[in-house]
A and B are shown apart, each in its own frame.
Chain A
Amino acid sequence: MNRKLGFYVLMAVLVAGLFLTASCAKKTVVSDATTIEDQAKTAADAAAEAEAARKAEQERIRQQELQEEAARKEGTVQARTRFLNQHIHFEFDSAQLTDTARALLREKADWLKANSGTGIVIEGHCDERGTTEYNLALGERRAAAAKQYLQDLGIGAYRMTTVSYGEERPLDPGQNEAAYSKNRRAQFVLK
């Protein structure tokens, strides 16, 4: 048993040694071959290589442009999504634009200027407190306030119409202030 193990160890050492020797020898050969090839390089080869590099660079630029285009497209989609999903919010029983509302409307005006072919509907909404009929009127005033501010920022009135939904179309059916404040809004829809 012990003798057999000793044999295996010996064989292993020998095989390992053989491999090491062989790789050393081969390395030398490869190194020689490279040298020979380098020496064989011509001016024409150099020109071809420069052409390849130029192509690679072109390809890199094209890829970068594609990426930028995709990012731009995504940005456009994001801007559009933001335009449609960021609502203008109001205080209870008020159609006054808050500072936050004005900032958001300036952003929307920029979007409308960048998308000059787009017409929009501004919807005015209320929370469920208060009464149906009064809220119809209040919702209209909220939509009208948003429209007037956009008009003051240079957006043509002909591109915008308003409609009030009063308390008929809440975003959040909850009966708490968090829901109510979400529901008191002016919302933007593309025509």
Chain B
Amino acid sequence: MTKRCVLSVMIVFLICSFPVPVRVFAAAYDTIQVSNPFLNKTPVALPAFKALTGRPAETDLGANAHQILENGLAFTGYLKQINPNAFLADPAQTGIRMSDIDFKDWTGIGAELLITGGVEEKDGQVKLELRLFDTFNTQLLKGKVYTGEPSQIRRMIHLFCAEVSHALTGKWGVFASKLAFVSTVDGNKEIFVSDFDGHNPTRITRDNSIALSPAWSSDGRSLAYVSYAGGKPDIYIRHLARDRVTVIDRDGMNITPAWMPGKDTLAAALSFSGNQEIYLLTRQGEMIKKVTSSWGINVSPQFSPDGGKLAFVSNRSGSPQVYIKDLGTGDVNRVTFQGSYNTSPAWSPDGKKLAYVGIEKNRIDIYLIQLDRGPGMPVQLTRGQGDNEDPSWSPDGNLIVFTSTREGQGPALFMMTAAGTDQRRLMKMPGRQTQPRWSGPVTNAE
């Protein structure tokens, strides 16, 4: 098993380390293989933006917008940005419209896609013109104009990134999504919410105790989490905009909340009975039904995207392993068999894969199993770089955010593609960050 894993990781590594060869682009873009697009990334050229009326302010705003575009497109996972040193043309000088562009300049350096941008600044208002071209088919795939305050440039660029994602894959991508995570403040764990890329972190709890396990409701408007504000672990359900809080504080512990997709229903592990079992609860904390009945530990429920199944962790076999319960038939199946410690299941948005945390030889790493192909070998996504925990999928299923100690100064948030490639630190902020949770699928970026 290990050998095969090493081999596959090596293949991924080899393919990713060499430049993708120029290939003739024939098919339409909506056929990009999202299940594993990371081995064959599409090369895109992102030349500097044009100052449309030539004011210096436009050049500065353009540079800022261009930087946000580069960072944003890295969150698709399937685009490879071509080094600007290779560019043969400069649309900032020659023009950003279709008629201004000689596409041979771009196909010649292997760019299959080209994005041009222009900035106009007038009376404190910014106008952004953005275009996505298919260079081999000399075709405008998407053109958009955005107007607003300079402070809204980030938002405008991310709206365009969503358009790019939609034009290429039919999905809006991650650009309107949010992250919730835990960060220490003066040594106490508190819940934070940020943009999908870790920008604009906002503190949600001020309990000065221990806050854990944030969970997004499907609509992204509510967070459930665990806090010791009352002296023991209880579940708090907070409507973010209205700042309204409901507490589930039965006897014993009330932990690991998860929302049923599209519903105001939660699953959580409660121990009021003397044993730790998983229950379905209403948003007000009223009991709907008991899901597990097994002496021992039952925690960390995660609904399948269709809401029909529940993955969870149980030690009923003597060690922590991941199980899936079909909520319709009641059948329970164990899905992890390698090693004696597998926890923290995270369902991919298409419901076909499960990422989880496994401990092998005292190393904590993230693994992936394919659920639609029967029991198979797990794929190891992280290896040999600190302890790696808490996987959570991006709403488009292309990326996984996780916690890693690889940089030595306590755990921090990292990101990788769903194939385990392009692992990099997401953001830097004071304290120790853990338990990132990506908000649910985004249906419309408009």
Q: B413: shortest Cβ distance to chain A, in Å? A: 14
Contact B343 A131 (CB under 8 A): yes
Q: Which of B276, B362, B364, B389 interacts with A140 by CB under 8 Å? A: B276
Q: Does A130 contact B (CB under 8 A)?
A: yes
Give B244-269 as 1s and 0s: 1 = Cβ < 8 Å from A's Cβ atoms: 00000000110110000000000001
A141: chain B residues within 8 A (beta carbon): 276, 297
Q: A186: shortest Cβ distance to chain B, in Å? A: 15
Contact A130 B276 (CB under 8 A): no
Give A95-119 as 1s and 0s: 1 = Cβ < 8 Å from B's Cβ atoms: 0000000000000000000000000
Give B303-317 as 1s and 0s: 1 = Cβ < 8 Å from A's Cβ atoms: 000000000010100
Q: A56: shortest Cβ distance to chain B, in Å? A: 58
Known interface pairs A93-B320, A131-B389, A163-B231; A137-B297 also in contact (CB < 8 Å): yes
Query: Chain A residue with minimal CB distance to B357?
Result: A131
Complex Cα gap A164–B252 (Å): 9
Known interface pairs A130-B343, A130-B359, A132-B434; A168-B300 also in contact (CB < 8 Å): no
Task: Specify which of A129, A136, A144 lies most central, judged by the most chain B CB atoms within 10 Å of its CB.
Answer: A136
B434: chain A residues within 8 A (beta carbon): 132
Count of chain A to chain B residue pairs whose CB atoms are closer than 8 Å in the complex: 71
Contact A133 B300 (CB under 8 A): yes
Q: B144: shortest Cβ distance to chain A, in Å? A: 42
Complex Cα gap A185–B85 (Å): 59
Known interface pairs A93-B319, A93-B341, A137-B276; A132-B213 also in contact (CB < 8 Å): yes
Residues of B whose CB lies within 8 Å of any CB of A are: 189, 210, 212-213, 226, 231-233, 252-253, 255-256, 269, 271, 274, 276, 297-300, 313, 315, 319-320, 341, 343-344, 357, 359, 362, 364, 389-390, 434-435
19 contacts between A and B (CB under 8 A): A93-B315, A93-B320, A93-B341, A130-B341, A131-B343, A131-B357, A131-B390, A132-B389, A132-B390, A133-B212, A133-B300, A133-B343, A134-B299, A136-B233, A136-B255, A137-B271, A137-B297, A163-B233, A168-B212
